Amino acid sequence: MKPEALRLFSQNPEKYLYTIIYTVAQKLIQDTTLNAVSALNFDIETKGIATFGDYSTNIAFICAPLLKKSPLAVAQELLILLREQISSDFFHIEIAGTGFLNFFITPHGWAHIARKLSSPRPRKRFFRKKILIEFSSPNIAKPMSIGHLRATILGNALTHLYRHIGYRPITWNHIGDWGTQFGKLLVAYKKWGNSTIIEKDPINELQKLYVLFHQKAEQDISLEDEARKEFQKLELGDIKNRRVWSYIVKQSLKEFNRMYRLLGVVFNYTIGESFYESRLQPFIQWLQKNKYAHESQGALIIPLEAEGLPPALIQKSDGATLYFTRDMVSLLYRAHKIKPHHMLYVVGGEQILHFKQLQSVNKLLHLTTIPFTHVSFGMITDEFGKKFSTRKGNIVTADTVVEEIIDRSYKIQEEKNPHQSSETKKKTATAIALGVVMHSMLRSDRTSGISFDFDTIFSLSGNSFPYLQYTYARIISILSKVPHKKTGDYTKLTESDHTLTRTLINFEKIIDTCATTQSLHPLAEYLFSLANAVNTVYEKSHIIHDTDIRTRNARIHILTVSAETIAYGLSILGITVQKKL
């Protein structure tokens, strides 16, 4: 094998195979048909089944109709050509089933690959494209809910993911600090609020007032009117209302920041909806002047019938603006201020229609040419699968979740490591709990809803963060007991080492999957399989006591890369891993 080919093979055997299969298949087609085929859309897969090889391809099925032969016959022809190109020292090739070609990497091949293993590093780009990522977006005067927690963790992880693949992420927190809800809160605050009680625990007391308002409003409809009036007063700059509002905003942000610090989340911009207030009226006038918007039933709308969507409501009949209006202005503002290459909105799936409307309005009005995407995620519902309601007060707060998991984690600490000081236990328990919370929010498909239940969502065993943390600590423990030497002999590695090696070289491929789907669960799944492979090696070979020093060195190298891959992968999920457990 030529040096360049050997290097490609060692670093990326799949890519190496792909190139050869492609040329060989192309040749076969051109030899027998007049029409050259431009693209061959075939796959190379890793099935993880021993008899199917390390890689398998469906190329014969793709070529068969073009050659008007059976897939099996094509596979046989391809096999002959492939054997000419690929040395049997590196790959053993077989035909299986109705025409699959299976490739088995030889021990000699694995030795080359294992020797070249290296830890993941951020991809380099000369021009770091900016990507603006909006996430978290909590509402003032309400505790951060578990839904916002999911948004925060998902957005944060996406930030790390994009940074890894070479983007420059700009994080944006769009705070819900404006709207009719504040009228309601102002009414409740003035009527039933007690400032000394509120001072002690502002957010929870305000939440109680908000719930109280809705209870009272069910009996007395005039309260809703009062609320609208209070919000109008706030919009017009009423001093008393402004003062109460500022106080609430300040207290809420303090609470949110505490959670962000705990999770290690950093925002480049934290901008409330109120910020756009002064831009709203000029914008609405512009809409009217250009006849983009018109009056309907007393309100101002942008019709979207042509798009097959309900109209976008931009001004209420009482003259107040709406969420949609502020989102349009915010979109413009972000586009102009940051000039990113792309914008992401990490917002719950219940707002799919809202973003469809925003896309359509942008298409019709040409607000910005910068593409934006709604990265939606499934709702966390109550145990009956129904939406939690802030108004009724039956929400699960982010704090409740984190505290409960720290508690559970601490109990396990006491059980497993009773000798540790309570301070160490507390510290470890907190680190693990945060990892558990983040990992749990990322390990399943982001679009699927989650029915709330502590035991199933935040499981502490099985495919969970503690398993990854444990595996990492195990490797670190071994590495601390054995000297690191570069003179490794990779030829006597066994099947479990090969499995681990195969997993390690798949890291970047998994990252690509994550990036194209804007999901993190493939990475979480991957880390679990990686840890699994590590633990198998751990069981099968007693590394420290291995008398074959050179083979031991080879394993130490693979394990070092494994530990670093686990830590790096977790850091993309936003999780910090501990050296000891």
Partner RNA sequence: GCUUCCAUAGUUCAAUGGAUAGAACGACUCCCUUCUAAGGAGUAGAUCUAGGUUCGAUUCCUAGUGGGAGUACCA
Contact between 225 and RNA by CB under 7 A: the answer reads: no
At closest approach, how far in Å is the CB of 179 from RNA? 2
Q: Is 53 left (phi over 0), alpha (psi -120 to 50) or beta?
A: left
At closest approach, how far in Å is the CB of 521 from RNA? 6
- What the block records as the tokens of 315 is 């001004």
At closest approach, how far in Å is the CB of 282 from RNA? 19
Q: Single out the segment in contact with RNA by CB under 7 A; choices: 11-19, 155-163, 445-453, 500-508.
A: 445-453
At closest approach, how far in Å is the CB of 256 from RNA? 14
One residue of 91, 178, 245, 458 binding RNA per CB under 7 A: 178
Q: Output the furthest CA–CA distance in the chain (Å, rounded).
A: 88
Q: CA–CA separation, 276 vs 178, rounded Å? A: 10
Q: CA–CA separation, 111 vs 490, rounded Å? A: 5
Contact between 173 and RNA by CB under 7 A: the answer reads: no
Contact between 581 and RNA by CB under 7 A: the answer reads: yes
Interacting positions 383-422 with RNA (CB under 7 A): 385-387, 409, 412-413, 416-417
Interacting positions 77-136 with RNA (CB under 7 A): 96-98, 100, 102
Q: Single out the segment in contact with RNA by CB under 7 A; choices: 186-194, 358-366, 442-450, 486-494.
A: 442-450
Contacts of 533 (CB under 8 A, 6+ apart): 496, 499, 500, 503, 562
At closest approach, how far in Å is the CB of 227 from RNA? 9
At closest approach, how far in Å is the CB of 472 from RNA? 8
Contact between 179 and RNA by CB under 7 A: the answer reads: yes
Contact between 499 and RNA by CB under 7 A: the answer reads: no
Q: How many residues sit close enough to RNA to count as binding (CB under 7 A)?
A: 102
- Closer to RNA at the Cβ: 112 or 503? 503
- Closer to RNA at the Cβ: 52 or 245? 52
- What the block records as the tokens of 357 is 């409307």
Residue 248's nearest CA partner among 292, 210, 301 is 210
Contact between 313 and RNA by CB under 7 A: the answer reads: yes
Contact between 61 and RNA by CB under 7 A: the answer reads: yes
3-state helix, strand, coil in the chain (%, to 5): 60, 10, 30
Contacts of 127 (CB under 8 A, 6+ apart): none
Contact of 443 with 525, CB cutoff 8 Å: yes
Angle at 571 between CA 566 and CA 575, to 5 degrees: 100
Residue 431: phi and psi, rounded to 5, are -60, -45
- What the block records as the tokens of 115 is 């020797």
Contact between 281 and RNA by CB under 7 A: the answer reads: no
One residue of 288, 368, 535, 571 binding RNA per CB under 7 A: 535
Interacting positions 133-172 with RNA (CB under 7 A): 139
Q: CA–CA separation, 442 vs 436, rounded Å? A: 10
Contact of 40 with 25, CB cutoff 8 Å: yes
Binding track, positions 315-344, relative to RNA; x by CB under 7 A: -xxx-x-xx---------------------
Interacting positions 501-530 with RNA (CB under 7 A): 521-522, 525, 528
Q: CA–CA separation, 349 vs 331, rounded Å? A: 19
- Closer to RNA at the Cβ: 169 or 572? 572
At closest approach, how far in Å is the CB of 88 from RNA? 19
Contact between 73 and RNA by CB under 7 A: the answer reads: no
At closest approach, how far in Å is the CB of 245 from RNA? 14
List C-alpha distances in Å: 285 to 211, 290, 298, 364, 524: 36, 9, 16, 17, 49
Q: Strand order of the sheet with strand 372-377?
A: 269-272, 168-175, 130-134, 342-348, 372-377
- What the block records as the tokens of 480 is 């601390």
Q: CA–CA separation, 207 vs 389, rounded Å? A: 12
Contacts of 167 (CB under 8 A, 6+ apart): 125, 128, 129, 130, 131, 341
- What the block records as the tokens of 95 is 């035909």
Contact between 296 and RNA by CB under 7 A: the answer reads: yes
Contacts of 496 (CB under 8 A, 6+ apart): 533, 536, 537, 540, 541
One residue of 299, 338, 365, 515 binding RNA per CB under 7 A: 299
Q: CA–CA separation, 120 vs 567, rounded Å? A: 10
- Closer to RNA at the Cβ: 112 or 499? 499
Q: Single out the segment in contact with RNA by CB under 7 A; choices: 17-25, 278-286, 359-367, 535-543.
A: 535-543
- Closer to RNA at the Cβ: 267 or 324? 324
Please provide the DSSP assignment of 434-488 as one string.
HHHHHHHHHSS-TTS-EE--HHHHT-SSSSSHHHHHHHHHHHHHHHHHS---S--
Q: CA–CA separation, 508 vs 123, rounded Å? A: 10
Contact between 18 and RNA by CB under 7 A: the answer reads: no
Q: Single out the segment in contact with RNA by CB under 7 A; choices: 146-154, 159-167, 206-214, 298-306.
A: 298-306
At closest approach, how far in Å is the CB of 69 from RNA? 12
- Closer to RNA at the Cβ: 75 or 170? 75
At closest approach, how far in Å is the CB of 128 from RNA? 28
At closest approach, how far in Å is the CB of 84 from RNA? 22
Contact between 197 and RNA by CB under 7 A: the answer reads: no
- Closer to RNA at the Cβ: 56 or 501? 56
Contact between 58 and RNA by CB under 7 A: the answer reads: yes
One residue of 33, 194, 195, 448 binding RNA per CB under 7 A: 448
Contact between 49 and RNA by CB under 7 A: the answer reads: yes
